[in-house]
Amino acid sequence: MPLSLYEASIPVYLRMSRNLIAILDKAEAYTKEGGVALSTLAEARLAPDMHPLTRQIQMASDVAKGGAARLAGAEPPSMPDTETTFPELKERLAKTIAYLETIKPEQVDGGEDRTIELKFPNGAMTFTGRDFLLLFSMPNLFFHVTTAYDVLRNQGVPLGKMDYLGAPK
């Protein structure tokens, strides 16, 4: 049986969102063991012109819920970007996961050729469902999850590859 659009998207969005919660849990444990303050981690960034950890988590959430919604032909749920603490970031990820769990295979499958248009202040991008997932949404998700991982790793949080990938089911 061929891989469906649903199978290639929603389980990945879910896994990476859950992995981010586990990574944030590990960062919190690190701070309790005498590492840096949580506020320092929340504000940390890899380079001066990059977004801090909080924004990386928000954008990973946006990519997951927005990608799922667009693939399902729905409007993504709005979440204001107001999180500044680890509990708030984890709550946002939990809300993202809850939304992702509402998306059913029949909403996504068959949408490989559906037109998806993203509007930006300076223009728009148009994709088929397949190209949106493979060439835009997944690369964006992995970029922001990897950057969040790297920010925390750079701050001394003892993370490894399996924290990023998550435990096999």
* pLDDT for position 167: 77
9 contacts: CB under 8 Å, gap ≥ 6: 67, 68, 71, 108, 133, 137, 138
pTM summary value: 0.95
CB atoms within 10 A of CB 82: 9
* pLDDT for position 159: 96
* pLDDT for position 1: 67
Mean pLDDT per block of 10 residues along the chain (169 residues) reads 92 98 96 88 96 98 98 95 96 98 97 93 95 98 98 96 87
* pLDDT for position 33: 87
**CA 92/CA 162 separation, integer angstroms:** 23
Give the start-to-end residue ranges of the domains of the chain. 5-165
CATH architecture of 5-165: Up-down Bundle (1.20)
In the chain, the amino acid numbered 60 is: A
